[in-house]
Amino acid sequence: MTSEFPLTLEGMGERAEERPGGTLSLDEQTFNEFYAKTSPSLLAYLSRVSGNRTVAHDLLQEAYYHFLRTRLPGMDNAGTKSYLFRIATNLLRDHFRAAKRRRLPLPEAPPDADTSERIQLRSDLEPVFLELKPRERELLWLAYVEGYSHQEVAEILGLKALSIRLLLSRCRRKLARMLRERGLGPED
């Protein structure tokens, strides 16, 4: 799958820039190591925000492709990872825009061949999360699964850092209400 996503530098300081072409930013071995560290969490993010495993796989490959075309001088591991998440977030946005334009349904992820307990747990949790808007899913995932600070979440989503606190508090309230309505809150 191809994307119209342009690599932008907004919010990432002067550190990242699109390569003029020719070679990739990492050799194969370095890429393999970086991939091993980042891909499980990136796929989880893409999978839960898109709600579709096939789409998540396509976007994951596209995100790494864009990443490999980017020059990242002096960026530490954390910065590199958050830049990867920013690329992925932009690809998700492109995906949702295209799906809306073509009025494509966004199918839910099919369950994997897994233990029945996990399927049960997943079928309890996933529909609740998918009821949130994509932007709300992104916010909550980055803050509470990836543990990014408000500043980092703002950089990844291309939002103002000051607005994150308020947006996050709204999303939290909404998700907590949904969980309680489905009896997934605390027993007391």
With 0-12 / 13-18 / 19 or more C-beta atoms within 10 angstroms meaning exposed / middle / buried, residue 65 is: middle
CA distances from 114 to 85, 119, 121 (A): 27, 7, 11
Please tell me whether residue 53 binds another protein under the rule CB under 8 A: yes
Q: Which is nearer to another protein, 100 or 124 (CB)?
A: 124
Q: Which is nearer to another protein, 11 or 45 (CB)?
A: 45
What residues contact 35, with CB distance under 8 A and at least 6 apart? 64
Q: Which of residues 54-73 bind another protein (CB under 8 A)?
A: 57, 60-61, 64-65, 68-69
Residues of the shown chain interacting with another protein in the complex, contacts defined by CB under 8 A: 21-24, 28, 31-32, 35-36, 39-41, 43-45, 47-48, 53, 57, 60-61, 64-65, 68-69, 112, 114, 118, 121-122, 125-126, 128-129, 140-141, 144-145, 147, 165-166, 169-170, 172-173, 175-176, 179-180, 184-186, 188
